[in-house]
Amino acid sequence: MPRKPNHDRAELIDRARDLFWRQGWAGTSLKDLEAVLKMKPGSFYAAFGSKEALFEIALDKYAEDGAGRLAELVEAHGPMAALKRYPELAICREEAPAKACMLSKTLLELQAHRNPLAQRASAHLMRMEEQFAALFAQMQQDGEIAPEHDPKSLARRYQSDLLGLRVSAEREGIDAHAIAREIAEGLDRL
């Protein structure tokens, strides 16, 4: 009986994620969203409820996609090669709306006001780190890295290096690829 929506919801979410990723929470107004999504306020609120609700969905999609890309990399090349390639992959994608990580941007912007979105970003970062830790643990089982290391510590440091890399990549006049290479080479010494 009813009419169907004009837009593909999944693509709307992707476009919103890219806009939020680039411009941040406060830097993205509803006018910006309306322009990018080609929706009037009424449709927007019927579809997503609020700016905050859409940001949450976008953040989750961002984290999910990131985890998926890492999983694919592991599937294709194994844990060690995946972790060595991941830094370069994180900053090289031309189509990405920003070099820096959306999770860290959200955390830094909203943490001070105790916005739930910051906690959500923090939780996603922790989940990433656990994914890294699992890979380090497997590498240890496989004898690829020395047994005296603590996988969780390695993951924490790797995550920190990655976040630093992606902030650096946002700067002008910095060869971030060189940093990515150094992070990858650092894994050889484990």
Site of tokens 């953040």: 59
Choice from 22, 51, 85, 149 touching its own copies (CB under 8 A): 22
Residue 50 as a binder of DNA (CB under 7 A): the answer is: yes
113 lies in the binding site for DNA (CB under 7 A): no
Residue 40 binds DNA (CB under 7 A): yes
Least distance in angstroms from the C-beta of 110 to DNA: 13
Q: Find which of its own copies, DNA, none residue 157 binds, CB within 5 to 8 Å per kind.
A: its own copies
Tokens of 62: 């961002």
Residue 35 interacts with, from its own copies, DNA, none (CB under 5-8 Å by kind)? none
Any contact of residue 84 with its own copies (CB under 8 A)?
no
165 touches, from its own copies, DNA, none (C-beta below 5 to 8 Å by class): its own copies
Task: Decide whether 9 or 171 has the Cβ nearer to DNA.
Answer: 9
Which listed residue (47, 67, 96, 108) binds its own copies by CB under 8 A?
A: 108
Per DSSP, helices labelled H in the chain are 9-23, 30-37, 41-48, 51-92, 102-110, 116-141, 151-168, 176-188
Task: Verify binding: residue 8, DNA, rule CB under 7 A.
Answer: no
Q: Which residues of 131-155 are buried (b: 16+ CB within 10 A; e: fewer)?
A: bbbebbbbbbeeeebeeeeebeebb
Give dist(CA 121, CA 57) in Å, integer: 11
CB 103 within 8 A of CB 59: yes
Contact stretch for its own copies (CB under 8 A) within 6-14, 62-70, 132-140, 174-182: 174-182
**Using CB distances below 5 to 8 A depending on partner kind, what does residue 125 bind out of DNA, its own copies, none?**
its own copies
> At closest approach, how far in Å is the CB of 181 from DNA?
39
Which C-beta is closer to DNA: that of 31 or that of 189? 31
What does each C-alpha distance from 131 to 32, 105, 155, 190 come to in angstroms?
34, 20, 8, 18
Tokens representing residue 70 in the block:
């890492």
